[in-house]
Amino acid sequence: MFEKVALIGIGLIGSSIARAIKEKNLADHIAISTRSQKTLDRAKELGLGDSYNIDPTEVVRDADLVIICAPVGAYEAIGKQIAPHLKTGAILSDVGSVKEHVVKALEPHVPDGVHFIPGHPIAGTENSGPEAGFASLFDGKWCILTPIEGTDQDALHRLRDLWVAFGSDVEILDAKHHDMVLAITSHVPHLIAYNIVGTADHLESVTKSEVIKFSAGGFRDFTRIAASDPEMWRDVFLTNREAVMEMLGRFSEDLSMLQRAVRFGDGEMLEELFTRTRNIRRSIIDAGQETDVPDFGRHVSAVEDESGA
């Protein structure tokens, strides 16, 4: 599919792309660069690529596809650095969780003849680093591409076909709209999860050991996304401020209403909301985006562990 793919950044997403390309034999050569020598050495040990270089300008040379898989705060510097070394006809893409900022940070540096197509796979786990990736991460998940005006359709199709080969469904969205959709489906949920875990960590009336012991009451569900990569998520909130503030405002208004219902004992309002929210989970399961096994299947695994022991 591609002759040489260059990956800049080799964490959870970058290493999953490398593994998926290898497993499905989608490129002749995978060249890997990342800012830390230690991570680069680890990628080499894991055999994720065919060549490794701490200098990104070296790996992008002759690459017909370059995918930036670093925290979005690093994009502008990477873009400036690699731009003069990109091959004419190459596709430059990324996997960042925000897209309007990415366009602003990279587009000015992209040379004529290079096809810049931002992308964002809606997939991940709470683990990070090159060990955390796996080839099937994108399978059955959506990948959003946010091409800018005048994008070459052949290049767009080539990139789309790569994600389809990974098992993803591809959706084309406007960058600004992407950022609004992700603010509610991903960014604000992360902020809220980080916040409640932080709140629980700060209490005087309830000890931390009690929070940990009795977390199966619901709290532990929040800790999964509150264990996501800190640097990546810092950059998301720094670069999608407007949409996050808008959605967070909605969330807070609704929470004030709910708080009022609790204060005044409005059982009808509470039950009406709690009934409505059930249906959304059902829709997500029907859309194949969630498991229908109770408790995310944790009980199933526990039972399996037992029988295996």
Name the residue among 14, 21, 5 with its Cα closest to residue 62.
5
With CB under 8 A as the contact rule, which of the stretches 21-29, 76-84, 150-158, 236-244 interacts with its own copies?
236-244
Angle (nearest 5°) at CA 237 between 121 and 79: 65
Query: Does 245 participate in binding its own copies (rule CB under 8 A)?
Result: yes
Alpha helix (H) residue ranges in 166-286: 175-182, 188-201, 208-213, 219-225, 230-239, 241-263, 267-286
206 CA to centre of own chain: 33
Among 234, 307, 308, 309, binds its own copies (CB under 8 A): 234
Name the residue among 75, 93, 72, 87 with its Cα closest to residue 147.
93
Residues 6+ apart with CB under 8 A from 54: 33, 34, 35, 37, 40
Nearer to its own copies (CB atom), residue 157 or residue 234? 234
Query: Does 35 participate in binding its own copies (rule CB under 8 A)?
Result: no
Nearer to its own copies (CB atom), residue 53 or residue 136? 136
Query: Does 25 participate in binding its own copies (rule CB under 8 A)?
Result: no
Minimal distance, residue 154 CB to its own copies, in Å: 26
Amino acid sitting at position 109: H
Tokens of 122: 């809606």
Amino acid sitting at position 274: F
Query: Does 283 participate in binding its own copies (rule CB under 8 A)?
Result: yes
With CB under 8 A as the contact rule, which of the stretches 33-41, 50-58, 158-166, 189-197 interacts with its own copies?
189-197
Minimal distance, residue 217 CB to its own copies, in Å: 3
CB atoms within 10 A of CB 151: 17
Nearer to its own copies (CB atom), residue 154 or residue 295? 295
Nearer to its own copies (CB atom), residue 84 or residue 299? 299
Among 271, 307, 308, 309, binds its own copies (CB under 8 A): 271
Q: How far apart are CA 47 and CA 65, in angstroms?
A: 20
Query: Does 309 participate in binding its own copies (rule CB under 8 A)?
Result: no
Q: Which of residues 120-149 bind its own copies (CB under 8 A)?
A: 122-127, 132, 134, 136-137, 139-142, 144
CA dist list (Å): 170 to 119, 187, 253: 10, 20, 33
CA dist list (Å): 251 to 51, 258, 279: 46, 10, 19
Q: Which of residues 75-114 bind its own copies (CB under 8 A)?
A: 97
Query: Does 227 participate in binding its own copies (rule CB under 8 A)?
Result: yes
Nearer to its own copies (CB atom), residue 151 or residue 215? 215
Q: How far apart are CA 111 and CA 82, in angstroms?
A: 10
Query: Does 222 participate in binding its own copies (rule CB under 8 A)?
Result: yes
Binding mask 198-217 for its own copies (x = CB under 8 A): xxxxxx-xx-x-xxxxxxxx
Q: What is the largest CA-CA distance in the chain?
A: 67
Minimal distance, residue 104 CB to its own copies, in Å: 15
Any idea how long the chain is?
309
Nearer to its own copies (CB atom), residue 150 or residue 264? 264
Query: Does 300 participate in binding its own copies (rule CB under 8 A)?
Result: yes
Among 112, 150, 153, 265, binds its own copies (CB under 8 A): 265
Minimal distance, residue 301 CB to its own copies, in Å: 5
